């Protein structure tokens, strides 16, 4: 099993009614060299300007992004090539990121390579330090820029640091 840190930027709060703008992923391992990045054309006419602004893209730019079916097919292929066994989806905000990735995989490829589960990085940290109010974000080395690969790398760095703190996880 491989841990895959995922980050999503979107133009609204839910998939289908709104669109995933881009996604980034990195295999959680010391090198952090195996990454994926995709930019997706909107699936809806609806969008929230403030949500889209977080991504740094304009609506006009997103209209020229790649076909979502092609991006999700490429992401599924990347997961097959870069995971040992079934990949484990991990995210800083899995309630948000997971819903978009899951919806897009099922809608555009018919299945989600991650299965039906995800892991929340913040919850892992809270359990590790036994403090429900603790934040892992100080463990990031890569700046949180809202570019999904940067954000996934920073979160993967935090997970690697958690292993050094006693998290029982194997990274290959």
Query: 169: which DSSP letter?
Result: -
SS3 20: strand
CA distances from 40 to 8, 70, 71, 89, 165 (A): 11, 9, 7, 20, 37
Q: Residue 150 is inside which H or E element, if any?
A: helix 148-164
Determine whether 107 is an active site residue: no
Measured in residues, the chain has a length of 172
Please state, in angstroms and rounded to a whole number, the distance separating the CA atoms of residues 83 and 61. Answer: 32
- Annotated catalytic residue: which of 138, 144, 146, 147? 146
Q: Residue 95 is inside which H or E element, if any?
A: helix 94-109
Query: For the packed helices 148-164 and 121-129, what is the interaxial angle rounded to 10 degrees?
Result: 20
Which residues are within 8 A (CB) of 155 and not within 5 positions of it... i.e. 6 or more apart?
5, 7, 90, 91, 92, 121, 140
Active site residues: 146
């Amino acid at each position: 099993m491989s841990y895959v840190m995922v980050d999503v930027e979107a133009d609204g709060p839910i998939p289908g009614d709104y669109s995933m703008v881009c996604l980034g992923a990195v295999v959680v391992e010391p090198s952090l060299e195996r990454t994926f990045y995709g930019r997706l054309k909107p699936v809806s006419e609806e969008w929230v300007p403030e949500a889209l602004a977080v991504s740094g893209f304009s609506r006009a730019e997103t209209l020229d992004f790649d076909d979502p079916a092609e991006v999700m097919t490429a992401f599924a292929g990347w997961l097959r090539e870069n995971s040992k066994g079934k990949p484990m989806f991990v995210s800083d905000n899995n309630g948000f990121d997971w819903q978009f990735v899951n919806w897009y995989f099922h809608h555009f490829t018919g299945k989600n390579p991650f299965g039906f589960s995800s892991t929340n990085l913040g919850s892992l940290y809270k359990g590790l330090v036994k403090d429900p109010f603790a934040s892992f974000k100080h463990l990031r080395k890569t700046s949180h820029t809202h570019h999904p690969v940067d954000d996934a790398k920073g979160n993967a760095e935090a997970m690697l640091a958690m292993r050094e703190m006693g998290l029982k996880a194997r990274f290959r």
